Amino acid sequence: MNVLLLVAVITAMIIKHSAKGSEFPGLEADKIRIYLERLNKPAVKSINSPDGDIIDCVLMADQPAFDHPLLKNHTIQMKPSFHPEGVNEPKAKIQLWHMNGKCSENTIPIRRTTKEDLLRANSIENYGIKTHKNIPKPQSSNGFTNHEYAIARDPNGKFFGTKATINIWNPNVQTPNEFSLAQIWLATGGYQNSDLNSIEAGWQVFNQLYGDNNARFFIYWTRDAYRSGCYNLLCSGFVQTNNEIVIGGSFASPSSYDGSQYSVTILVWKDPGTGNWWLQMDGKNVGYWPVSIFTNLADGADRVDWGGEIVNLGTNGQHTTTQMGSGHFAEEGFGRAGYFKNIQVIDGSNNLRDPDPQGLVQIVSNQYCYNHKLGSVGSSWGTYFYFGGPGRNSNCP
């Protein structure tokens, strides 16, 4: 009897080790294979990126968006019917994969999901989704979750888009399942009725999701307080129309302290002709979130946020050393701190306008770990702010 018990224990240990190692046991391996076959669409060609990513050039009509039940008969909108600022000449934004090839015009580039990506996740079901409530809460709500913020919010009106230029950094992140990001949020609804709708876009460093510590362009969306929705193209929903930009792809050039500063300009706006929410990066239209996948956001957003966010897991009972922005506080200013500049919102007349700095709410979860500082009005940077911080330090235990 003791021998049988010992065999059972050893077998359980082997299976447990296998699930956390390089292979999944039987049923899990089949589940992984089916999941990857569903997510990774057939490629016209594939490109090996210098950062280790495999970029698949997938026919536009075969992209993951059309697995969504609400998009089965969707007709792709190839370009928006309206640009809030007219049509500008796009800037050349270099992602690392561009060094080794490009996708043809009838395809879109998609970062291939691998078995290793899934092994880093807590479970297949949690891969590519947020597992915590991620809209910042004002300090009056008696604290935060383990997500910490240094952001500005405009809560005063109805918004149909926003634009901002964000400088790109490569902050240190303490553990693989923590992250650091800088992004915009367009949101409406709340948690009480599980009707929170959110559109998010920016850059992030997130080892658990990508397997490295590169700064990457990312998007996120939800229609039901994060019960559904996902990062990038890891679930159906966002329709990509651009063959040059990988959502989830690494930027080639992050900023450096007291050195060169590199930035990305992100514009999200609601097309008045179709109601779809379009995404633009550095003047290039990337694609759109169809209005049909949302509930409250179908009528516009009631708040806009801009700023930084990190995850603090409190390893060993201490605050994380995960950095926000450059890892330096806002007071250090240009070339040393993270910034958002030329912040604008889109009003009901589809005009880009500067938000009223007096109406912006600053939300900082712990000013001794990370902070935020609004800039002066009337500069060439328009409405702007610096943000960031090192995390754990003598004032942030």
Active site (catalytic) residues: 200, 309
What single-letter amino acid sits at 178?
E
Pair 321, 115: CB distance under 8 Å: no
SS3 125: coil
Q: In the chain, what is the greatest distance between 2 CA atoms, to the nearest angstrom?
A: 81
List, in sequence order, every residue forming a beta bridge with 51; answer none if it has no partner. none
**Angle ∠(151,242,47) on CA atoms, nearest 5:** 100
Residue 5, both tokens: 């018990």
* Nearest-angstrom CA–CA distance, 98 and 252: 9
> 188 CB contacts (<8 Å, ≥6 apart)?
196, 197, 296, 297, 299, 300, 301, 302, 303
Residue 133, both tokens: 């409530």
Burial 210-245 (b: 16+ CB within 10 A, else e): bbeebbbbbbbbbbebbeebbbbbbbbbbbbbbebb
* Nearest-angstrom CA–CA distance, 310 and 327: 11
Pair 283, 265: CB distance under 8 Å: yes
Burial 56-71 (b: 16+ CB within 10 A, else e): bbbebeebbbbebeeb
**Angle ∠(369,370,375) on CA atoms, nearest 5:** 150
> 73 CB contacts (<8 Å, ≥6 apart)?
none
DSSP for residue 174: S
* Nearest-angstrom CA–CA distance, 264 and 249: 13
Virtual CA dihedral for 240, 245, 251, 255, nearest 10 degrees?
A: -90
SS3 162: strand
